[in-house]
Amino acid sequence: MVRRVYMPIFGSGLGHANRMMLIAKSLQKDGAEVRFSSSFEVANYLTDKGFNCNIVPLVDVKWNEKGELSVSTVSREALPAFKNFVHQLMLEIAEMRSLAPNLVLSDSRLSGVLAAKLLGLPSFVILNQVRILFSTRKRRILPVLEDIDAEILGKLWSFCKGIILPDLPPPYTISERNLWGVGSIKGKFRYVGFMVQKPVIDERDLERISKELNIKKERPTVFAQISGPSPTKKKIVKTVLKTAKIYGGKYNFVISEGVLGGKSEAIKFDGGVYYEWCPIKDELFALADLVIIRAGHSTIAQSILFGKPMVTIPISTHSEQISNAKKVLKLGIGTSMDQRYLSPEKIEEAISSIIEDGCVRNVEKLKSIANKFDGVKNTVNMIKDYIRST
């Protein structure tokens, strides 16, 4: 029924790619032809996984070595970004004409939605951010600007047939501050649940990994998965490694830097284990008593589905991650830290506080709610329902 599906994906962050691969595999089982479109590391990642991927220019912001985003940087990069966007749009139009898809499913890529609109093709978009929140350090007139910006973006996104939110419905919505209150998309969106692989773990594998990594059962296990653009991770990885060396006698530390294409061998050091690229991420989520993560939507969702309380360290000035981290606090499923003021002592204090309070109970409750939704299955069914009705 669904013959050809074109999937433009935002080119920064593997969370977008991972959830779209789950949808693609489900559609392929039904005989659909799937082709991706993305940029930079995401395009390489998809190609390595065996998918066809149209490579387009990256439209994204540049982070400095402190993991921060400045207004001056955004202003300086505005014109090059616009040129890349136009180039991206032209390439998308050409690729869609060549493929002639009967549906476009875009993950956070506006050029895909606009190209589909110009060609008269139906499109859906997966989003966990509509409202762009500016830096929280200067808040005087920013709410007004945020509202104007959100409504303009909402008008553009609304060219699609429907907006799919890979999140839980209220009051459990992780991305609430980035999604709510935009009139131009009212009535367009539907909550489908998290789009992450449901954990299926073999207990024998966990026992084997525990022995290989010398994980002591009498100590709490901390899995630190530090994702995101490379410049934003250096300080965090360095500080977490130092924390492990100081407090390795109190906790089992396993640290993954998430270097795409990096070495997958475990490197043991005095205090824990380090991976450039971790090949057993799901198993370590299962083994962990708590996780240290960025505040990306997919990683928070995965932590919830594994029932793990979390220490979130959002990218500084990254509005989406900051808002997600605040919702983690609000739900009582973890705590948040400012990456500008990290220290081994503060990280250990955050770990200790999570173990001692009610975060474990809260996240287990939310896990049971999240398990009632299958974001991938609901999205595929939504696509099929639309095709049937046309």
Phi, psi at 269, each rounded to 5°:
-140, 175
Give the pLDDT score at 76: 63
On the question of pLDDT at 110 being above 50, the answer is yes
The Cα 296–Cα 1 span in angstroms is 34
Lowest mean pLDDT among 23-27, 64-68, 272-276, 316-320: 64-68
pLDDT tens digits for range 248-303: 999 999 999 988 889 999 999 999 999 999 999 999 999 999 999 999 999 999 99
Is a pLDDT exceeding 50 seen at residue 86?
Answer: yes
Task: Tell me how far the alpha carbon of residue 32 is from its chain's centroid.
Answer: 25
Give the DSSP letter of residue 276.
Answer: S
Instruction: Kindly list the structural domains of the chain, giving each domain's residue range(s) and its CATH number in brackets, ordered by start.
Output: 4-197+373-389 (3.40.50.2000), 203-370 (3.40.50.2000)
pTM (predicted TM-score): 0.88
In the numeric block, the tokens 């400095």 are attached to 64
Range from 32-41, 172-181, 184-193, 225-234 carrying the lowest mean pLDDT? 225-234
pLDDT, tens only, 348-379: 999 999 987 789 999 999 999 999 999 999 99
Could you tell me the sign of the dihedral formed by the alpha carbons of 240, 245, 249, 253, in that order?
positive
Quick check: 59 pLDDT over 90?
Answer: no
Which strand (E) or helix (H) includes residue 52? none
Which helix (H) or strand (E) segment holds residue 119: the answer is: helix 110-119
Q: Which of 79-88, 96-105, 211-220, 304-313 has the lowest mean pLDDT?
A: 79-88
pLDDT in tens, 111-168: 999 999 999 999 999 998 877 655 545 545 455 556 666 687 888 999 999 999 999 9
Q: What is the mean pLDDT of residues 333-337?
A: 96
